[in-house]
Amino acid sequence: MAFIGALIGGVTNHLAIKMLFRPHEAKYIGKTRLPFTPGLIPKRRNELATQLGKTVTNYLLTPDLFRKKMLTPGMEKRVETFIQSKMDQYILQSDKTLNDWLKLAGADKLPDQVEDKLVTLIDQQLYEMKAKVTTGTVEEVMPLRWQQQIEEKIPLASDFVLRRASQFVDSAEGRQTFQKLIDDFLASKGTFGGMLNMFFGESESLVGKVQREALRFIEAPGTKDLLDQLIWKEWQNVQQQPMEQLTSGFDFDSVFASVRKYALNQLALHERLDHSLLHYWPQGSTWTAAKVTPQIVNFLFAQAEAQLEQSLKKLKLDEMVKEQVDTFPVAVLEDLVLGISRREFKMITVLGAFLGGIIGIVQGIIALTLNGL
């Protein structure tokens, strides 16, 4: 009886464990489905998947878990180090030139477009300047401040002219010039010139007289006033002159071409773009590591923490788990469960056999006792 009880207990427990998974599909005799088919887990797989999904989202992959495991200062520092290293490797300390980056972005025509745009702007400004300069009189075109400055310089110009004239007249060069002029004048007059030469004496003495008279004229107060008036009158005449007439002989096209060429040579865009970012910004890695990357990572972590619960809801982890479990073959679920609890299931079978044996012994004792009575 002990053996039979142990056999029954062990077999029934083993059968009950097997019936959790087997058969995998429903069995039929004709159109009648056999009871207990399929097994419990295959039959309730949809409910199991739903419950497993809820368990994962409610107790396993919770927002608090993500905060504790992922959104930590240590993780933030590791992410910051990783991002900075990749920025250094691929951007800040890369050997790629700015031209390479433009080609990578599909903007390799940008330098030519910039140069064309620059030339267009220069031409536009130059022709606008030409139109402005050549339209109207000098008085209308020239800035008022310039005109005032010129008018303020007229007395100074008179002083300068008279001072230089006085220096020239009183110099040996001036004396020689006067003597040559007098000699030429007297020679051109023939007999009359000879008479004048006899009347005034030698040309040398005549030169001295003319030189002294010229100095008196230059140093006379009225001479400066006269010169000021002459310069002022000429300045007023210049102010009324059309700018187009004054600039008619000026070669604007050559000047404009030189300006364009100079601007493009100074820009040297293609040459400047043929260097790496490190060439222009050697301290870029240090600066971004101190000023940019920490701010970016801090902002990302703050946004991740603020949006964590909402993001997990949008991910619908429970539905994802349910879909995955629904796609598992029943054999995979069986291997999964048995792989975890195979030893426990064996112990349940052994326990059933043990209890069955104990019950058999108790039954045997009871039967022997009753027979003895």
Banded model confidence at residue 97, pLDDT cuts 50, 70, 90: very high
- Against a cut of 0.85, is the pTM above it? no
Q: Annotate 26-41 with DSSP letters as a single string.
A: --EETTEEPTT-S-HH
pLDDT at 181: 74
Report residue 153 CA to chain centroid gap.
52
Q: Residue 28 pairs with which residues in a beta bridge?
A: 33
The per-residue pLDDT for range 63-95, each reduced to its tens digit, is 888 888 888 889 999 999 999 999 999 999 999
The per-residue pLDDT for range 134-155, each reduced to its tens digit, is 888 888 888 888 888 888 888 8
Report the alpha-carbon distance of residue 107 to residue 90 in Å, rounded. Answer: 19
Q: What is the mean pLDDT of the chain?
A: 83
Considering only 100-114, 265-279, 358-372, which range has the smallest mean pLDDT? Answer: 358-372
Whether 340 has a pLDDT exceeding 60, the answer reads: yes
Average pLDDT rounded to a whole number, residues 292-312: 89
Report the alpha-carbon distance of residue 168 to residue 164 in Å, rounded. Answer: 6
Whether 241 has a pLDDT exceeding 60, the answer reads: yes
| Nearest of 152, 150, 157 to residue 238 by alpha carbon | 150
Contacting residues for 25 by C-beta, under 8 A, at least 6 apart: 37, 38, 42
| Nearest of 80, 90, 86 to residue 290 by alpha carbon | 80
Q: Cite the beta strand spans of the chain per DSSP E.
A: 28-29, 32-33
Banded model confidence at residue 213, pLDDT cuts 50, 70, 90: confident
Average pLDDT rounded to a whole number, residues 205-220: 78
In the chain, where the domains are located? 2-70+302-372, 138-246
Q: At 124, list the tokens.
A: 């536009």
Whether 296 has a pLDDT exceeding 90, the answer reads: yes
pLDDT at 373: 65
Whether 289 has a pLDDT exceeding 90, the answer reads: yes
